[in-house]
């Protein structure tokens, strides 16, 4: 089925962000301090660099569980569900990163200071440590934190499409963007689709956190789990 991306972008804009936890608010304000309050492609790039990390950490924990607890059927099923989702989500996040890289190249935009290698190494190391800690001590809190991260990302993309009306007229010819979404023709829809992917990640995070009441349903959405 064809998803109405414009309708879903409006849904994202009209839906207020979640009431974020203190730790999420702190994290987002540090990002704003480094990358600026304005939502830009460079800031989205930093988000995407970080976005893959928690999925990888959950996967590591649950692969180990599969190794040692293969005889516990219920645990095996639960771990396999998390791994399956985590693998597809991290590949999807990495694709977002590649698409932004291509768009910035097409527009002649240089990476700002916060995307320099030393800064990226520091920021990713801290995020790996945080994700690892949550994955091993309280994975449900990790899912909840990720849901907040993804909700924030969804709102950033929805707002960026509104802030860049020229994207509606810019046709997609880039092979990476076409690999990501061959059915889409302009850059506004590419970023609307990315924003909707973030909503899917948010929804799945709430599903695994055991908080299905926060899931935002829409026509054509994939099933949780
Ligand atoms: Fe993403
Ligand atoms: Fe995401």
Question: 68 CA distance to ligand 2 centroid (A)?
Answer: 30
pLDDT tens digits along 138-174: 999 999 999 999 999 999 999 999 999 999 999 999 9
What span, in angstroms and rounded, lies between the C-alpha atoms of 191 and 96?
9
Query: What is the number of the ligand closest to the CA of 202?
Result: 2
Query: What is the number of the ligand closest to the CA of 191?
Result: 1
What pLDDT shows up at residue 33? Answer: 94
Question: 71 CA distance to ligand 2 centroid (A)?
Answer: 33
Please check whether residue 26 lies inside any domain of the structure. Answer: no
Answer whether residue 16 shows pLDDT above 70: yes
Question: 173 CA distance to ligand 1 centroid (A)?
Answer: 21
Question: 167 CA distance to ligand 2 centroid (A)?
Answer: 21
Question: 50 CA distance to ligand 2 centroid (A)?
Answer: 9
Question: 186 CA distance to ligand 1 centroid (A)?
Answer: 18
Sign of CA dihedral 42, 206, 53, 82: negative
Answer whether residue 31 shows pLDDT above 60: yes
Question: 138 CA distance to ligand 1 centroid (A)?
Answer: 23
Q: What is the percent of the chain where pLDDT is above 90?
A: 97
Q: Can you give the residue range of the structural domain that contains 51?
A: 35-214
Question: 74 CA distance to ligand 1 centroid (A)?
Answer: 30
Please check whether residue 13 lies inside any domain of the structure. Answer: no
Query: What is the number of the ligand closest to the CA of 86?
Result: 2
Please check whether residue 29 lies inside any domain of the structure. Answer: no
Please check whether residue 139 lies inside any domain of the structure. Answer: yes
Please check whether residue 160 lies inside any domain of the structure. Answer: yes
- Show the CA angle centred on residue 15, arms to residues 54 and 170, nearest 5°: 80
Could you tell me how far CA 116 lies from the centroid of its own chain? 21
Q: Strand locations in 75-158, DSSP E?
A: none
Please check whether residue 7 lies inside any domain of the structure. Answer: no
Please check whether residue 221 lies inside any domain of the structure. Answer: no
Question: 99 CA distance to ligand 1 centroid (A)?
Answer: 10
Indicate the pTM of the whole model.
Answer: 0.96
DSSP H/E element including 88: helix 73-106
CATH of the domain at 137: 1.20.1260.140
What pLDDT shows up at residue 1? Answer: 80
What pLDDT shows up at residue 180? Answer: 98
Question: 47 CA distance to ligand 1 centroid (A)?
Answer: 7
Per the structure, the count of domains in the chain is 1
Confidence label for 224 from pLDDT (cuts 50, 70 and 90): low
Token readout for 62 is 């649950």
Question: 140 CA distance to ligand 1 centroid (A)?
Answer: 20
Confidence label for 223 from pLDDT (cuts 50, 70 and 90): confident
Please check whether residue 145 lies inside any domain of the structure. Answer: yes
pLDDT tens digits along 36-61: 999 999 999 999 999 999 999 999 99
């Amino acid at each position: 089925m064809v998803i109405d991306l414009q309708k879903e972008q409006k849904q994202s804009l009209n839906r207020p962000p979640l009431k974020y936890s203190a730790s999420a608010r702190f994290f987002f304000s540090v990002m704003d301090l480094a990358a600026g309050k304005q939502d830009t492609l460079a800031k989205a790039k930093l988000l995407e660099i970080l976005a893959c990390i928690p999925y990888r950490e959950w996967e590591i924990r649950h692969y180990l569980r599969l190794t040692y607890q293969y005889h516990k059927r219920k645990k095996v099923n639960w771990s396999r569900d998390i791994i399956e989702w985590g693998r597809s989500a991290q590949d999807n996040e990495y694709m977002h990163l590649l698409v932004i890289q291509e768009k910035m190249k097409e527009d002649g935009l240089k990476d700002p200071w916060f995307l320099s290698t030393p800064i990226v190494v520091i920021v990713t190391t801290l995020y790996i440590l945080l994700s690892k800690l949550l994955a091993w001590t309280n994975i449900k809190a990790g899912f909840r934190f990720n849901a907040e991260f993804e909700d924030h990302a969804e709102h950033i993309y929805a707002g960026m499409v509104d802030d860049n009306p020229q994207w509606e007229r810019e046709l997609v010819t880039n092979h990476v963007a076409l690999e990501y979404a061959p059915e889409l023709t302009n850059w506004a829809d590419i970023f609307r689709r990315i924003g909707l992917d973030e909503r899917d990640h948010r929804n799945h995070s709430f599903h695994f956190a055991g908080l299905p009441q926060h899931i935002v349903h829409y026509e054509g959405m994939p099933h949780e789990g």
